[in-house]
Amino acid sequence: MSHLPRLAPFLHRLALPRLALPRLALTGVTGLALLAPAPALQPGSAQPVATQSAQLGPSYEEFPLRPSSGVLRQSPGALRQGPGTAYASAAVSRTKPFSLVGVTWPSRADSQHVEVKVRVQRNGRWSAWERLPVEDDHAPDPSAPEGVERSGTEPYWVGDANGVQVSLTTTDGRTIRDAKVALIQPGTLATDAEPPATAQAVPLAVSAAPYAMPPIVTRRGWGADERLRAYNGAACAKPKYTSTVQAAFVHHTVDRNDYTRTQVPAMVRGMYAYHVKSRGWCDLGYNFLVDRFGRAFEGRYGGMHLPVLGAHTGGYNANSFGVSMIGNYETAVPSTAALEMTARIIAWKMDANYRSPRTTLVLAGTKLLSISGHRDTTATACPGKNLYAALPWLRQRTHILMGKSVATEIYRFALRLGGFPVVGQPVWGEHATRTGRATYFGVRDIHWSVATGPHSVMGSFRTLFRKLGDSRLGLPTTEMYSVQGGKRQDFQGGSMVWHTADRKVYVQYKALS
């Protein structure tokens, strides 16, 4: 029998030391400097930092933006703002090599008034200015300590760069102080070219099993440093769980669309570092990510089968999970491979939890479809107009993949017992065990095998059975029933007996032949 994963203790729970910020020469970028850098930063004037070896190690740098106030002069390529605009800016001609950039500032509710532009230096040449999407509607991270979280942009993959210029402006004229630029080099791993994925589960052929788990690159597969989860405190290292899974929210990372297969694991590692160190979250915000090649990646730590509480859809993280496609689908059309994998992830999670992909529900007081886009909950463009337009197809495809498999032996037995009001909401969706399958509901665990059929375990019997497992006791063959002086339940290898007198559970094993 499979048990709930041990969540503690972890081998690495010590918080990582915060890196000392290097002394960097900061040059204010004002007016026409948005189009052309200051003299010391003219393209070609700075010597590029040599690219390191293929095993370039991870690094994280952060430096402040210098607050100013005034009016940005209108010039080609500049952010066009009205009188009274406040802005902050910074430029560094030479940095350590980095591949991902993001900008953060102290948490504020009106981040829609903040606009950020960035350009980077590669081999002595400056790129065009890019606007970084400001996205503050994932948080708050329910697990993060109070006062640590920061507002900010989405992280943006730039490839290999060694210089940066940033301009932050506000459209309401308010000056932002303590804004910071994060430069992240996630390094490369030997497995980045083809990270290992989980093997696809094969349903038992003798019954109606749930839709199989698709191949997913685990956190170990993409190279997650699990010590990073303790960066914002030991409490962050332990994942938090919501009650059940009822809905899926579809997102996009608003990143580049021209990334390569080999770059994706590093992009995920960089996003992980940015969410934790820069945004102040406990972990990656999303539960799953999907790249444009149709590969799936495990996001937030805690067990892919379980209802891990993420930070993907602010105010709606409970009883839901978030799947984010890597790329900007406001400008690009999602690939068929990416859509198919997203449908497979949602089908697996929903089928295991006996949910319909084409129903409506009330979540956090809002009526939503069980597969919704981020923009259905708040004023955001996420998941981009092109991906949002594909959601009807995604719902239909998920429905087709699931078929009628929701009618498993365990589900039908749960209905005979009285349904969710009696057995509770699914907590650990239907999954394979050593000898059959099981679903952990809020009140009862229901186990099934060809030999025993479906039976439930509850109360103190359930608590002890989870500890003992089925290696000797086997699976239940009856429900709990009353006997003189207590309660009893029979298993393949013995019985559990609860004595009213001392309120304890005893195990009676059958004699071994």
- Confirm if 486 and 500 have CB atoms less than 8 A apart: yes
Contact between residue 253 and residue 289 where contact means Cβ atoms under 8 Å apart? yes
Distance between CA atoms of 119 and 92, rounded to whole angstroms?
Answer: 11
Residue 181 has, within 13 A of its CA and on its CB side, a CA count of 30
Q: Is 103 helix (H, G, I), strand (E, B) or coil?
A: strand
- Determine the pLDDT at residue 66: 80
Report the chain's terminal Cα–Cα distance, integer Å.
23
* pLDDT at site 405: 59
> Which residue is it, tokens 């930063």?
41
In this structure, the number of other CB atoms found within 10 A of the CB of residue 210 comes to 27
Contact at 8 Å (CB) between 316 and 376? Answer: no
pLDDT of residue 58: 80
Give the Å distances, CA to CA, from 201 to 81, 213, 298, 322, 421: 54, 6, 16, 22, 30
Handedness of CA 334, 340, 345, 351 (dihedral sign): positive
Residue 287 structure tokens: 């539960």
Among the listed residues 105, 92, 185, the one whose alpha carbon sits nearest the alpha carbon of residue 153? 105
What residues contact 397, with CB distance under 8 A and at least 6 apart? 339, 340, 343
Per-residue model confidence (pLDDT) at position 47: 26
What is the mean pLDDT of each successive set of 10 residues along the chain, which is 513 residues long?
A: 34 28 29 25 26 54 75 38 61 85 85 88 92 78 78 93 90 84 95 86 56 95 96 92 96 95 97 95 96 98 94 90 97 98 97 94 94 91 96 96 81 96 96 92 97 97 93 94 96 95 93 71
Dihedral sign, CA of 241, 242, 244, 250? negative
Q: CB pairs under 8 A, 24+ apart, for 234-239?
A: 234/13, 234/15, 235/143, 235/145, 236/143, 236/144, 236/145, 236/282, 236/283, 237/10, 237/13, 237/282, 238/7, 238/8, 238/10, 239/7, 239/143, 239/283, 239/300, 239/301, 239/302, 239/303, 239/308, 239/309
Three-state SS letters, 195-242: CCECCCCCCCCCCCCCCCCCCEECHHHHCCCHHHHHCCCHHHHCCCEC
Q: Looking at the DSSP assignment, which residues form a beta bridge with residue 372? A: 249
Residues linked to residue 486 through DSSP beta bridges, in sequence order:
483, 499
Q: Scanning the structure block, which residue is given the tokens 């021209």? A: 258
With DSSP H G I counted as helix, E B as strand and the rest as coil, what are the percentages for the chain, rounded to 5?
Answer: 20, 30, 55
β-bridge mates for residue 385, sequence order: none
CB 278 within 8 A of CB 180: yes
User: What pLDDT score was predicted for residue 208?
Assistant: 65
Burial class of residue 44 in the structure, from the number of CB atoms within 10 Å of its CB (0-12 exposed, 13-18 middle, 19+ buried): exposed
User: Using an 8 Å Cβ cutoff, are 274 and 264 in contact?
Assistant: no
Q: What is the pLDDT of residues 412-456, one digit of tens each?
A: 999 999 999 999 999 999 999 988 999 999 999 999 999 999 999
Question: Quick one: how far is CA 117 from the chain centroid?
Answer: 26
Length of the chain equals 513
Q: Are strands 320-325 and 216-217 parallel, antiparallel or unpaired?
A: unpaired
pLDDT of the residue at 94: 77
What amino acid occupies position 277? K
